Amino acid sequence: MTTKSATGQSPERVGIVQTKYFTFDELVLENGEKLGPITIAYETYGQLDSKRANAVLILHALSGDAHAAGLHQGEKTPGWWDSMIGPGKAFDTNEYFVICSNVLGGCKGSTGPSSINPRSGKPYALEFPLITINDMVNCQKRLIDHLGIEQLLSVAGGSMGGMQALSWLVNHPKSIRSAIPIATTPKHSPQQIAFNEASRLAIMADPNWNLGKYYEGNPPAKGLAVARTIGHITYMSDVSMAEKFGRQKKGSSQNEKFTADFEVEGYLRYRGDNFVKRFDANSYLYITKAIDHFDGFAGKPVQEAFQHVQAKVMVIAFKSDWLYPAYQSQEIVRACKIAGLQTSYCEVDSTYGHDAFLLEIKEESHLIRHFLKKIYYDYEVTDGYSI
Amino acid sequence: MATPYNDIRPDHRIILEWVTTNASVLDLGCGSGDLLYLLIKNKKAHGHGIEINVEEVYKCVAKGLNILHGNLENGLEDYKDKSFDYVVLNQSLQQILRVGPVLQDALRVGKKVIVGFPNFAYYRSRLQILFGGKTPVNTALPYQWYETPNLHFLSILDFVAYCSKKKITIERKVFLGKEQQVQLFPNVFAQTGIFLVSQ
């Protein structure tokens, strides 16, 4: 498992990057409603080759954005999957043209409930229609068309990103040569819906939420912070929490009651409070709903789900991920098997829980690097007895 | 990178000979994928492997193979009847818990099944039990009793008898000693038996 690229260079960053924007007139949503104009924020890394055959679309999770790699001017924190995208990395920008866009319904540059509704001149808030994972993917398809790419080499993402990868497989099978769904599920279990519902209830219980109309006043920061806290608990594992925090107490002894006594409490409060600065509560509501309603097999029996798919698939799960347990990834593998797709599946050893797809870089890179190379060069192994 | 024919594992050489060109292959317990890779490279085979050990899975991925990480004892039920020209159980049969159901499933999903296993009745093993009074350890059975992955200790005669009882047709068979094929008294002199069976 080498971290060097084929050219022998050590991994490095893609450098300074800028978010770009693509706007199109209108999209007919899955529920029949029309929404427009729609702006999609996106970033690209690397160069599109002359055959336009090396484009890889990265799909982000619930709270992600278009800034997947590199640094924005003047910033110190790189994109959310910088460890995986760059020269010599898993998504090797010396080889591939990597695209990442912010999802429809988001709040990081793409049209969402916090965007201005052209009909009222005010933020949409709850006027924004209910959107689906398939709607998000249909916007990505428009972006890909705009970039002049007929077929993507691959689509890849973890968690909600993995759901989008499945949506690409089922709804745009001819537009992709491969898909890499990571730490994901074909559909949410009642337990997964329950966690999302608890998050939504927290937001809606905040008096500042005001039925979504808070853009001119104070946002429901307390509610959103609690929602994020619930999320963070589900992203980690028993072991990863024990390793990170133990039962360590925070230093200062305060006289107040019910302060954050333990390290883990301090961490959750810090992450919750921080999240409020960068995320819109209504987006959280819309996106979690889209996740809960997602059905990767489009309501069909597993036997039919991937009938028309030709793409090659690599499914990755992580051992300690109890939010998206491996059995759910195996349901995807099962559908691939039944459809006779060329499929690989690996359950990576990890103690990080669901967060593993952002942290188990070495193993994940190994799997993805070799898989992509196979797809890109489409190599048929012939002649010779070599091993 | 290229390995001369003679350096290929003797059991792999036999299987390579048996598998027809352009065949579809399911390799159950494919390890690091050497056999599957050889079959793809030399016989234009296609298919995939199932392997339980994650480190071996990484090696398969590095070879560009389609590999499913998991226990081969669950999951065969998803394949349709006769979906593969060959199902391979090479050096894995003796390590699986439910031999009967797995072999039956392999015969259902594969037109033909290739089975390779260490012969427990190899003469050195016999001598080690008879005179040493200890569980045999030799090139065919390289593990101490406390660390062996093998769950079943079968001989060539055991397998032949099993096939006859279960109405499994033995189409081809080859017996291997340390280096070369064994023709005479294979149940005594062979370390490994390789069978091509069907039902």
Residue A321 is among the residues annotated as catalytic for this protein? yes
Distance between B106 CA and the closest CA of chain A, angstroms: 15
In a domain, A383, yes or no: no
Q: Indicate whether A8 pLDDT > 50.
A: no
Residues A334-374 pLDDT 10s: 999 999 999 999 999 999 999 999 999 999 999 999 999 99
Confidence of residue B75 (pLDDT cuts 50, 70, 90): confident
- Contact check, Cβ <8 Å, A346/B41: no
Q: Indicate whether B1 pLDDT > 60.
A: no
* Across A295-302, average pLDDT: 88
Type of residue at A378: D
Do A164 and A212 fall within a single domain? no
Do A58 and A118 fall within a single domain? yes
Domain of residue A320: give its range: 20-187+295-377
Beta strand pairing call for A55-59 and A154-158: parallel
Q: Which residue has the higher pLDDT, B27 or A385?
A: B27
User: How large a percentage of chain A has pLDDT more than 70?
Assistant: 94
Tokens 């924190």 belong to which residue? A77
Whether residue B3 lies within 8 A of chain A, CB to CB, comes out as yes
> CA-nearest residue of chain A to B24?
A340
Do A65 and A167 fall within a single domain? yes
For the purposes of burial, counting CB atoms within 10 Å of the CB of B73, is it exposed (0-12), middle (13-18) or buried (19 or more)? middle
Radius of gyration of chain B (CA): 16
- Contact check, Cβ <8 Å, B58/A344: no
Type of residue at A142: R
Confidence of residue A6 (pLDDT cuts 50, 70, 90): very low
In a domain, A73, yes or no: yes
* Across A60-69, average pLDDT: 98
- Contact check, Cβ <8 Å, A343/B58: no
Do A200 and A80 fall within a single domain? no
> CA-nearest residue of chain B to A374?
B64
Confidence of residue A159 (pLDDT cuts 50, 70, 90): very high
Whether residue B2 lies within 8 A of chain A, CB to CB, comes out as yes
* Across A33-48, average pLDDT: 97
Omega of the bond prior to A37 within 30 degrees of 0, cis? Answer: yes
What pLDDT sits at residue A381? 46
Contacts across the A-B interface (CB distance below 8 Å): 82
Q: Of A260, A288, A316, at which residue does a domain stop?
A: A288
Residues B17-26 pLDDT 10s: 999 999 999 9
Mutant choice from B50, B78, B87, B105 vs A, greatest count of A C-beta within 10 A = B78
Beta bridge partners of A45: A98
Q: Indicate whether A87 pLDDT > 80.
A: yes
Q: Indicate whether A384 pLDDT > 50.
A: no
Type of residue at A1: M
Q: Which of A207, A193, A260, A204 is nearest to A227 (CA)?
A: A204
Residues B174-192 pLDDT 10s: 999 987 899 999 999 999 9
Do A168 and A197 fall within a single domain? no
In chain A, DSSP finds a helix count (H) and a strand count (E) of 11, 14
- Contact check, Cβ <8 Å, A385/B4: yes
What pLDDT sits at residue A1? 39
- Contact check, Cβ <8 Å, B54/A330: no
Cα–Cα distance measured from residue B188 to residue B24, given in angstroms and rounded to the nearest whole number? 34
- Contact check, Cβ <8 Å, B48/A347: no
CB contacts, 8 Å: A312 with chain B:
66
The CATH number for A267's domain is 1.10.1740.110
Tokens 């490994």 belong to which residue? B192
- Contact check, Cβ <8 Å, A387/B38: yes
Do A283 and A307 fall within a single domain? no
- Contact check, Cβ <8 Å, B67/A367: no
Interface of B with A in 70-89 (CB under 8 A): 70, 75, 78-80, 83
Q: How far is CA B91 from the centre of its chain?
A: 4
* Cα–Cα–Cα angle for A134, A37, A135, rounded to 5 degrees: 5
Q: What is the pTM of this model?
A: 0.94
What pLDDT sits at residue A254? 63
In a domain, A7, yes or no: no
Long-range contacts of residues B3-7, Cβ cutoff 8 Å, at least 24 apart: B3/A385, B3/A386, B3/A387, B4/A385, B5/A385
What pLDDT sits at residue B3? 65
What pLDDT sits at residue A7? 44
Q: Which of A346, A383, A386 sits opposite B57 (nearest CB)?
A: A346
Q: Indicate whether A95 pLDDT > 90.
A: yes
What pLDDT sits at residue B69? 98
Do A78 and A113 fall within a single domain? yes
Residue A354 is among the residues annotated as catalytic for this protein? yes
> CA-nearest residue of chain A to B79?
A338
Select which of A159, A175, A237, A329 is catalytic: A159
Confidence of residue B196 (pLDDT cuts 50, 70, 90): very high
Q: Indicate whether A65 pLDDT > 90.
A: yes
Tokens 């036999």 belong to which residue? B14
In a domain, A382, yes or no: no
Do A147 and A58 fall within a single domain? yes
Whether residue B38 lies within 8 A of chain A, CB to CB, comes out as yes
Distance between A88 CA and the closest CA of chain B, angstroms: 16
Q: Indicate whether A3 pLDDT > 70.
A: no
Q: DSSP labels for A331-384?
A: HHHHHHHHHT--EEEEEE--SSGGGHHHH-HHHHHHHHHHHHHHHHHTPPP-SS
The count of domains in chain A is 2
- Contact check, Cβ <8 Å, A382/B69: no
What pLDDT sits at residue A383? 43
What pLDDT sits at residue B31? 96
Cα–Cα distance measured from residue A155 to residue A145, given in angstroms and rounded to the nearest whole number? 15
Do A209 and A173 fall within a single domain? no
Q: Of A267, A288, A309, at which residue does a domain stop?
A: A288
Confidence of residue A261 (pLDDT cuts 50, 70, 90): confident
Do A312 and A281 fall within a single domain? no
Residues A214-260 pLDDT 10s: 999 999 999 999 999 999 999 999 999 999 999 988 876 667 788 88
* Across A191-210, average pLDDT: 98
Select which of A206, A280, A321, A355 is catalytic: A321
Q: Which of A234, A214, A229, A235 is nearest to A260 (CA)?
A: A229
Do A148 and A247 fall within a single domain? no
The CATH number for A50's domain is 3.40.50.1820
- Crossing angle of helices A160-171/A281-293, nearest 10°? 50
Give domain limits for chain B: 5-119+155-198
- Contact check, Cβ <8 Å, A384/B65: no
Q: Which of A1, A342, A385 sits opposite B2 (nearest CB)?
A: A385
Chain A residues with CB-CB distance to B under 8 A? 1, 312, 330, 333-334, 337-338, 340, 342-349, 363, 366-367, 370-371, 373-374, 379-387
Cα–Cα distance measured from residue B183 to residue B133, given in angstroms and rounded to the nearest whole number? 29
Do A149 and A257 fall within a single domain? no
- Contact check, Cβ <8 Å, A344/B66: yes
What pLDDT sits at residue A259? 85
**Residues B5-119+155-198, CATH architecture:** 3-Layer(aba) Sandwich (3.40)
Coil, helix or strand at residue A385: coil
CB contacts, 8 Å: A330 with chain B:
70
What pLDDT sits at residue A353? 97
- Contact check, Cβ <8 Å, B58/A334: no
What pLDDT sits at residue B2? 57
Q: Which of A342, A383, A385 sits opposite B3 (nearest CB)?
A: A385
Whether residue B27 lies within 8 A of chain A, CB to CB, comes out as no
Q: Indicate whether B5 pLDDT > 90.
A: no
Q: Of A288, A321, A349, at which residue does a domain stop?
A: A288
What pLDDT sits at residue A165? 98
Confidence of residue A5 (pLDDT cuts 50, 70, 90): very low
Type of residue at B43: K
* Averaged pLDDT score across all residues of chain A: 93
Residue A159 is among the residues annotated as catalytic for this protein? yes
Mutant choice from B41, B77, B80, B85 vs A, greatest count of A C-beta within 10 A = B41
